[in-house]
Amino acid sequence: MNATLRLLNLTLTSLLMFGHAKEGKAQITEETYRRAAYFLTGNLQKQVYHLEVIPSWTDGSKGFIHSTYTSSGKRFFKTNTSSFETEEAFDHAALARALQEKTAEPIDQADLPIERVSVANGKTVTFLWKNQNWTWNIDNGSLTAIPVTERNEMESFSPDRKWKAFSRNYNLFIKNLTSGEEIQLSFDGKKDFEYASYWGWSDMIYGENGERPAHFMVNWSPDSKKIFTQIVDLRIAEKMYLLDWSKDEKFRPELLSYYRGSPGDSTVVHYIPVVFDLEKRTERKLPELTTPHFIGITMRWSDDGKKLSGFQIPRGYKQYHLIELDAETFDTRKIISESSPTHVNRDNIFRRLKNGQFILSSEKSGWNHLYLFDWESGKEINAITSGEYVVNKLSHFDEENGVVYFEASGKEPGRNPYFNHLYRVNLDGSGLEQLTPENAYHEVYISPDGKLAVDNYSTVNQPTQSILIELKSGKHLQKISEADISNLKSRGYTSPVPFTAIAKDKKTEIHGVYFLPTIFNAKNKYPIIDYTYSGPHTSTTPKTFKAGLLGHQQPMAELGFVVVTVDGLGGFGRSKAFSDASYHNLGDGTTDHVLAITQLASKVKFIDITKVGIFGHSAGGYDAGRAMLLHPDFYKVGVASAGDHDFRMEKAWWPEMYMGYPVGDYYHEQSNITNAANLKGHLLLAHGGIDENVNPSATFKLAENLIKAGKDFDLFIWPSRNHSFGRPPGDYFTKKRWDYFIEHLMGEKPIRHLQIDFVD
């Protein structure tokens, strides 16, 4: 054998030996999956103790009950706000024994299946379980239950309890509860033109000629003399369809349908408001206030029952009108109107005061703030808040003293602009005072009497502190608890790491967080995965300790990835200009992600910028698909689940509000379906077969166009699932998504048919 041939044989032998050695040292083992599953929400929440305190207040502010996980399991605690003592609310083992003896069902004292718990005088525990109200006497051990009285949602009683309103054959009736006399108020109701009803978000019609679910809605005037309601007009509305193939007992698919208008559709369900006068037996339709069902109009009665008021929002969300309707003359008065070239906020903060004034939020300054107005004239009296920060919530109003308690973000310089704080301010805008000074995100629960509050403050890398505070001053009265993650630390857990980057406008600082595996070694290079859900209606990057723990990111990181989440331009929670960056341009959300990841990779050396993946669900599913098509050389692997891949096929309200109305060419240009030919990397499309929220038709159309373009991709349909799958507790698709990145981004071989103990 000559020297060249011997060298060739030696090289081949070495390569074979190296291949076998690499296969024997595969990174992905059953332990890898177990490590990831540990961090799924259903499992992890039992390993973290005293994560937060959400109070159920009793007697105004005298005390509260809260539940949390401890080393002994799930426990209910009671806090006395006079003595500042927190202790277990009762003997959990004793209650478990009493429940088990009473019902013969196995009860785990470490995970009592009870809700709405209250404790009276330290002796009586009441709670809800299995649709029954239970009472347990601690002293004598007696346990009794009374079935919860089911409220008949197809009828409504007048405030004076003399009348009952109900519907029959699509018309509105009332019944005199003394005489039993029934009076028909409407007469032209019929199928598809239906009085005193509404269209529910997930209403489903089964079969070719199925009936839609019945609903009932009336709004009585305070004096019981009038009724405000609406007619649901389905006469020209078009349905969307689904086929359910998953029923074991059926050998043909079941046809499902529902009404859900898409952007630009004229054939949608409409609501026609109507007012009935019971004394005069008159009906007055208000066609000028007709609105698509996905916008709707809610009207409130004045205290004297003579007028109605509410927000009217024309289609397109570019303006709103606060109107008042005279229920006698039916004259309509516009109290105040606001418009925007992009969109107005449809969820305004609103509070009507007893002195003829009202508080209303507005983004007219470029930031969401509170303003005081006069009800009769509609004129602005003064700004209550102002500046370059965002008011998020009117938390409490002390009308007697004219003090507004509100939550806002971005006010404190040098802090994360998304951090929420509690403030107080006088109604005239003076005396602004911060009540929660800690540099963290504050989640505040105020007592009904406005005297105390529970403040849970944290960051993604600072455990939650739960503090009882005096509302007026913000003074700390008692530290109730602090999150304990000792179990996680023993496994090598480190908290997510915040970072900042510069956005595509080359000036705005944007914020993100990255997650590391517990087996992290800074000397290694890790593929990076972007978890996405963008748009002006949300902010996805975790801000709190809880949000950093309980999500998709850490389980994915445990497989051997660095996982990133970024809030780019066009998102929620900052200035009006910041959110408007995505108007007509929802498809460009992931460009800031590319920039953030690239900038992060220049700062840390353990990221492999040549191996970047992305995943998301729903609007995040669109993002993931869009990223693969808009940035095909950057993102190598994507998993797009329940994606609304073409906004023209989505439910109408949020694309029309944030993408624009009427529908323009930008809808077509930013459709994943019309850009399918751009795909270069590995893409997994997934959808629930009976998803009524985001109809699977867009995923099928994207698949069809990928086929037409000759592109390789993968498709997963879960026949029996609606929109809810692949969520943080984990399910079959969770492993499917993990495996896709293991194989195509990491380059390892997943373990097939491995059963994981998910908590679904």
In order of their start, the domains of the chain are 29-46+487-746 (3.40.50.1820), 57-147 (no CATH)
Q: What is the mean pLDDT of residues 5-21?
A: 36
How far, in Å, are 202, 206, 510, 612, 731 from residue 744 at the CA level?
A: 36, 40, 29, 10, 21
Q: How many whole angstroms separate alpha carbon 455 and alpha carbon 632? A: 45
DSSP states of 78-93 as a string? EEETTTTEEEESS-HH
State the pLDDT at residue 347: 86
Nearest to 614 by CA among 587, 632, 588, 599: 632
Class of residue 154 by CB neighbours under 10 A (exposed 0-12, middle 13-18, buried 19+): middle
State the pLDDT at residue 4: 37
Model pLDDT for residues 214-271, shown as the tens digit of each residue? 999 999 999 999 999 999 999 999 999 999 999 999 899 999 999 999 999 999 999 9
**Mean pLDDT rounded to a whole number for the chain:** 94
> What confidence tier does 2 reach under pLDDT thresholds 50, 70, 90?
very low
| Tokens 């929400």 sit on residue | 41
Q: Which of 27-31, 146-150, 212-216, 550-554 has the lowest mean pLDDT?
A: 146-150
Amino acid in position 153: E
Q: How many whole angstroms separate alpha carbon 260 and alpha carbon 473? A: 48
CB atoms within 10 A of CB 149: 7
Tokens of 60: 């105004």
> What confidence tier does 453 reach under pLDDT thresholds 50, 70, 90?
very high
CA 471-474-477 angle, to 5 degrees, is 90
Three-state secondary structure readout of 675-738? CHHHCCCEEEEEEECCCCCCCCHHHHHHHHHHHHCCCCCEEEEECCCCCCCCCCCCCHHHHHHH
Residue 283: strand, helix, or coil: strand
How far, in Å, are 145, 613, 631, 671, 726 from residue 681 at the CA level?
A: 59, 10, 10, 18, 22
Q: How many whole angstroms separate alpha carbon 619 and alpha carbon 511? A: 20
Q: How many whole angstroms separate alpha carbon 132 and alpha carbon 492? A: 44
Q: Is the pLDDT of residue 14 over 60?
A: no
Model pLDDT for residues 63-79, shown as the tens digit of each residue? 999 999 999 999 999 99
Q: Is the pLDDT of residue 19 over 90?
A: no
Report CA torsion sign: 412, 415, 418, 420: negative
State the pLDDT at residue 535: 85
**C-alpha dihedral over 664, 670, 675, 681, to 10 degrees?**
180
How far, in Å, are 620, 646, 671 from residue 676 at the CA level?
A: 17, 11, 9
The strand pair at 452-459 and 462-470 is best described as antiparallel
Q: What is the mean pLDDT of residues 602-619?
A: 97
State the pLDDT at residue 759: 57
Tokens of 151: 């409220």
Model pLDDT for residues 492-508, shown as the tens digit of each residue? 999 999 999 999 999 99
Model pLDDT for residues 502-528, shown as the tens digit of each residue? 999 999 999 999 999 999 999 999 999
Residue 662: asked if its preceding bond is cis (omega within 30°), the reply is: yes
Q: How many whole angstroms separate alpha carbon 76 and alpha carbon 117? A: 8
Model pLDDT for residues 261-301, shown as the tens digit of each residue? 999 999 999 999 999 999 999 999 999 999 999 999 999 99
Q: Is the pLDDT of residue 649 over 90?
A: yes
> What confidence tier does 22 reach under pLDDT thresholds 50, 70, 90?
very low
Q: Is the pLDDT of residue 447 over 90?
A: yes
Nearest to 259 by CA among 336, 202, 189, 181: 202
Three-state secondary structure readout of 208-269? CCCCCCCCCCCEECCCCCEEEEEEEECCCCCEEEEEECCCCCCCCCEEEEEECCCCCCCCCC
Tell me the Cα Rg of the chain.
29
Residue 601: strand, helix, or coil: helix
Tokens of 719: 């026949």
Q: Is the pLDDT of residue 7 over 60?
A: no
Q: What is the mean pLDDT of residues 307-319?
A: 96
Nearest to 117 by CA among 134, 138, 130: 134
Q: Is the pLDDT of residue 399 over 50?
A: yes
State the pLDDT at residue 122: 82
Q: Is the pLDDT of residue 38 over 50?
A: yes
DSSP states of 400-441 as a string? TTTEEEEEEES-STTS-TT-EEEEEEETTS---EES--SSSE
State the pLDDT at residue 666: 96
Residue 563: strand, helix, or coil: strand
Q: What is the mean pLDDT of residues 74-96?
A: 96
Q: How many whole angstroms separate alpha carbon 742 and alpha carbon 24? A: 17
Percentages helix, strand, coil for the chain (3-state, rounded to 5) are: 20, 35, 45
Q: How many whole angstroms separate alpha carbon 751 and alpha carbon 736? A: 11
Q: What is the mean pLDDT of residues 709-733?
A: 96
State the pLDDT at residue 23: 35
Q: Which of 449-453, 534-538, 651-655, 719-723 has the lowest mean pLDDT?
A: 534-538
The strand pair at 682-688 and 635-641 is best described as parallel
Q: How many whole angstroms separate alpha carbon 10 and alpha carbon 662? A: 70
